Chains A and B, each alone.
Chain A
């Protein structure tokens, strides 16, 4: 006798199909709709290439900055318990929750000439408004939590005892980090950087406020959409998606765990 499947099984199948359909259909349609010639036209357009390059380059830079400033912090949060740790952790998560335009406005409010930090930066010739610096700054702001949380989770999976033994064998904290922690956690750190880049590349709301020019790809897509319509924005979007997918795929492959030899 065949067992009758539980209704819940049908529910899970139904829910899976809805989700796949919901996410994939618009994306597939968008990629499929532009004609080959319009795609070719888009990629030979200097402005388009520049904006996609800027998107990739700025978000990559944001990931590297997050790696540099976020790693020691993520390690601290993963390893130590201290008063106010919960508070600090929720502060780090704030950029995920704040509406994107608000992020832009918030950053501009410290970068202006009537703020001491803005004056300070101005004195050194650092400009936030309408500059690549501004774009990268926004991207770090929104991407940092993704790097930190992923790296932290990676550090947490490394047994504390490995580090303790390393110390007992004569290695300092720094030595232990580079000989034990880093080799065991670099994959999570790389995944964290991928997450951070992905988040940064997709940022629009905050960047459009801080820097409309130079134009990152999402801003250009938006501009072409409002000025010329759907047909003109699609090809740029397709190229952005293709280039970023390729990059993420590459990084994912690098970060895959090595097959353990039997």
Chain B
């Protein structure tokens, strides 16, 4: 549906570097990255609102690289809603209708259904000034969907909302995508949102794409240290490899399978590291002795750092589990990491 071929955007102090991306029809695709990674720029380039230095943007098989935004048939929804302040809710929603051909005009019924779907019927005559954040974002969604776009571009649509509205709009987005079956491309910096909404993710950092994969794969098999850290992998170490062993400093980790190709890191999720007072049996586990060196209260759980002689591992523990291992124990404790949880990249 959307294809970017070596898309390059050069700005005075920033550039998007030769991005290749292919998004399927009807997909909920997420462009994930930290602030300043260039996500919005890519989105606006697809919409035709940002200058493209070189490369191609193809939408529905048509090269739109040099088409003005009003000819692209896409919709865009911004974090700050960008509602027209001088128009009522209904006038905002119907803003784009006059630009559609007569035979493509939505019937009154379709429009009413859209307004209903977004739960806006009671607001249509209101000015937009005293709507809540959630209502504003629903108006913004209705406005872009009213013109029946082939693609909906969403620029951090949840970021400006209070937590309770955020949940609401998140559900709305999921529902709309399911019901309308159009392509959604959403930009966000929040991995949890991506996990909940997205089917595939592209992770972008400093104008470059680091990984494109289905959501679960990005979560379990990050391709680069940046992605690993971004998806919350707490233990990332440079390593050397020898058959099915990884050597981190002087510590030897047993892998499930020999590392193939040129790998340089191991990554382990904190929730896969377990801690116990007595030595667990070795089968399938890498067991090391260590000492608790730091405990951080993360609210719902504790992040516990355990120093072995060579390396500091981080684990996630509940309060009761932490109490059980008695962190003040001086004789040391044991950590165990299943070899299947050691990720190599």
On A, residues with C-beta under 8 Å from B are 159, 161-162, 164-173, 175, 179-180, 183-184, 260-262
Contacts and interface: CB of A to CB of B under 8 A. Distances in A.
A171 B99 contact: yes
B84 interface: yes
23 contacts: A159-B82, A162-B84, A164-B44, A164-B47, A164-B49, A165-B76, A165-B78, A165-B84, A165-B144, A167-B49, A167-B68, A168-B49, A168-B69, A168-B70, A168-B75, A169-B95, A169-B143, A169-B144, A170-B98, A170-B147, A171-B70, A183-B86, A260-B127
Contacts of A159: 80, 82
B155 to A, nearest CB: 9
B96 A169 contact: yes
B134 interface: no
A164 B86 contact: no
Contacts of B47: 164, 168
B85 to A, nearest CB: 7
B207 interface: no
Contacts of B70: 167-172, 175
A172 B100 contact: no
B127 A261 contact: yes
A170 B96 contact: yes
Contacts of B85: 162, 184
Given A170-B99, A171-B96, A165 B127 contact: no
B340 to A, nearest CB: 47
B75 A169 contact: yes
Interface string B104-121: 000000000000000000
B48 interface: yes
Contact of A168 (B80, B86, B144): B144
Nearest to A158: B85
Given A168-B49, A169-B70, A171-B99, 6 more contacts: A165-B84, A165-B143, A167-B69, A168-B47, A168-B144, A180-B84
B138 to A, nearest CB: 15
